[in-house]
Amino acid sequence: MISRRLTRSFITCLLLIGSPVLGSDRDESWPEPVGAVELQSAGGPGLDVGIVVFDAGIPEDVSTHSKLGVFPSIREAEARYMPVLLRQALQDSGAWGVVRVLPEAQESSELLVSGRILHSDGLRLAVRITARDATGRTWLERTYFDEAEQGDYLVPASGVPREPYADLYRSIANDLLATGGALAQQELEAIRQVGLLRYAAGLSPEAFGSYLTATPDGRYEALRLPAQGDPMMGRVNRIRNQEYLFVDTVDEQYLELYETMAPTYFLWRQYGREQAIYLQDYQQRAENRSRHGRRGSYAAMEQTYYTYRSLKVQSQDLVEMAGGFRNEVAPTVMEVSGKVFRLDGTLDSQYAEWRDILRQIFTLETGL
């Protein structure tokens, strides 16, 4: 009897304070769920793609976090986890060149994709995606939304859980492919040229700034191109490749986070979905009881307690993983021009430091 009273008290408390996972109801501004999506892979623009670590979308008002179902540490980990999933979808399509996850925006990327997490839990995922190429042309600027069904959490015979929101990432990949597929080869080549010139101008505005023009609406065009075999552009390409080498090293750490986080993250979302659905059903039963005097099932209430307890365990594990990734990022050792550099701190700070080192090396080599 005491156990039953405690369980009912637990449920009542959850209803009073709000579920920590369910968060708010579906926002009316979100589109319809993407549904079942088949990845398109016919041809493609072949551009290199940079996917920036997502904006975690954490509200500044801390008092709203519980009501909205936002766990800041987990949301920050999701902001690094989701770009890896999008990268996989783009790679699986076979329509692109090299696809990298970037610690920060690199505006000279041939195609730069950024995102903001609007809502994320075991039931619903909503993200705002923006994609622009090196010329400043907007390819994509829209919200994607999907809802997870019970079947999305079934584990196949292989034992490897499937991503519940894989359709959402495939939908983004298909939209990018549709936009890129509509561009002529001449336009795609212009994107590559402008991307390289913007990178060169970032290294030395004095030497390369005159090669480009920018329009008031943020579009870039090449006024002229360096001569073929220009030794200065040869140095630019070498510096750019050194930056790519670092980004590829960072990319491996994001992949490691993904592989470490995936099993626990899957369970956390699965338990969260079950908890959210039960609370919705319980609230409906509570309303029916007030009208018809019916009582809820003790067994069902007891089950939600165990689900909630499992959910809390997975939440704690995820928080520890996210904190460990943020606090224990391995130093990166890079070599350029016969010199070895050791970079410490967060991946963001390491990337900024490495880009600064490359600019200094370019300046020393060219005298510009």
pLDDT tens digits along 108-151: 999 999 999 999 988 899 999 999 999 999 999 999 999 998 88
The pTM for the full model equals 0.79
**Residues 289, 307: Cα–Cα separation, whole Å:** 23
Please provide residue 294's backbone torsions phi and psi, each rounded to the nearest 5 degrees: -85, 150
**Residue 171 vs residue 307, higher pLDDT:** 171
Residue 29 Cα distances to 22, 58, 126, 142, 156, angstroms: 18, 18, 11, 11, 34
Identify residue 114 by its one-letter amino acid code: S
pLDDT (tens digit, 9 = 90+) per residue, 57-108? Answer: 999 988 888 777 788 888 888 999 999 999 999 999 999 999 999 988 998 9
Question: Do the domain assignments include residue 72?
Answer: yes
Calpha distance 350→254 (Å, rounded)? 14
pLDDT value at 21 more than 50: no
Q: Is residue 89 part of a domain?
A: yes
Using pLDDT thresholds of 50, 70 and 90, give the confidence band for residue 56.
very high
Query: Which three-class secondary structure state does DSSP give residue 109?
Result: coil
Phi, psi of 119 (to 5 degrees): -160, 140
Is 250 among the domain residues? no
- Measured CA to CA, the distance from residue 110 to residue 189 in angstroms comes to 10
Answer whether residue 15 is part of any domain: no
> Is residue 137 situated within a structural domain?
yes
Token duo for residue 48? 């290199």
Does residue 134 lie within any of the structural domains?
A: yes
pLDDT at residue number 303: 61
Task: Give Cα 296 distance to the centre of its chain.
Answer: 40
Residue with tokens 């090196």, as numbered in its chain: 134
Q: Say which residue, 214 or 301, is predicted with more confidence.
A: 214
Residues 247 and 235: their CA atoms lie apart, in Å, by: 19
Domain region containing 48: 23-180
Share of the chain above pLDDT 90, in %: 36
How far is it, in rounded angstroms, from Cα 337 to Cα 238?
10
* Residue 302's pLDDT band (cuts 50, 70, 90): low
Number of domains in the chain: 1
What confidence category does residue 325 fall into, taking pLDDT thresholds of 50, 70 and 90?
A: very low
Q: How far apart are CA 259 and CA 2, in angstroms?
A: 43
Q: 339 pLDDT band (50/70/90 cuts)?
A: low
Q: Does 107 fall in a domain?
A: yes
Residue 333 pLDDT > 60, yes or no?
A: no
Q: How far apart are CA 362 and CA 203, in angstroms?
A: 7
What is the DSSP secondary structure assignment for residue 151, as one 8-state letter?
G
Q: What percent of the chain has pLDDT over 70?
A: 72
Buried-exposed string 98-120: b where 16+ CB fall within 10 A, e elsewhere: ebbbbbeebebbbbbbbbebbbb
Name 245's Cβ contacts closer than 8 Å, sequence gap at least 6: 334
How many Å apart are CA 261 and CA 119, to the nearest integer? Answer: 19
Distance, CA of 248 to CA of 239 (rounded, Å): 14
The answer, yes or no, to whether residue 52 has pLDDT greater than 90, is: yes
Q: What number is the average pLDDT over the span 174-191?
A: 95
In this structure, of 117-121, 175-179, 192-196, 320-324, the range with the lowest mean pLDDT score is: 320-324
Please write the tens of the pLDDT for every residue from 232-261.
Answer: 888 888 888 888 888 888 788 788 888 888
**Residue 74 counted as domain residue:** yes
